[in-house]
Amino acid sequence: MVVLLLAVWGAVCAQTPRELTGKDRTAAVAELETKTKAIKSFTGQFKQTRETTMLKESVESSGRISFKRDGAIKWEYLKPQAKVIEIKGETLSVDGVSSGRGNRMAKGIAGMVSDMLQQGKVADERVFDFKLYDDGKNYNLKAKPKRRDMQRMMSAVDITFDKGDGSMRKMILTEKDGNRTTIEFVGLKIGN
């Protein structure tokens, strides 16, 4: 019985993410940025779940994602309807048409994702206050926007990075009104 209790206690403790602070946080961010910069390209699939305060049921989308350094990030939605979104820098186009001055949140997210992938910037402290956690397998970044233009759009961004290769595995965007989008990446093939 004691052995069973110790095993359960050990499993619970092992699953609790540890917040990284000071030198540990600085070292982990540097490690993630080095690994992220080493990714030259990737392809894979994504599943996106959108939860809104107005709808009882969530809306699910899925498709393929691809990335090439110094190129575009391409989101090819296959379900529920076909659509292609390309992000290059802060330029966002949908089905080949630039968004212009359209959706500020989409463009803000596009810029953030582009900075992460193209420049290896995991957490820009000029834009976000963030905490970083280590759960043993992943780093979990929990960020809150500092800039007012970002605060008008979102209240939090949570990103899970694989510790092994530095790739983004999950992103949760929480909007100011409580709506939330979760994007999970699977089957990533990474080119270094």
- Give the distance between the most distant pair of CA atoms in the chain: 65
Pick the CATH number of 20-191 from 2.60.40.10, 3.40.50.920, 2.50.20.10, 3.50.50.60: 2.50.20.10
Q: How confident is the model at residue 6 (pLDDT cuts 50, 70, 90)?
A: very low
> Which pLDDT belongs to residue 162?
92
Mean pLDDT of 129-156: 88
Mean pLDDT of the chain: 82
25-28: list long-range contacts, CB under 8 Å, 24+ apart.
25/132, 28/132, 28/134, 28/139
Q: What's the pTM value of the predicted model, to 2 decimals?
A: 0.80
> Which pLDDT belongs to residue 120?
66
Phi-psi label, residue 18: left if phi above 0, alpha if psi -120 to 50, beta otherwise: beta
All structural domains of the chain with their residue ranges: 20-191
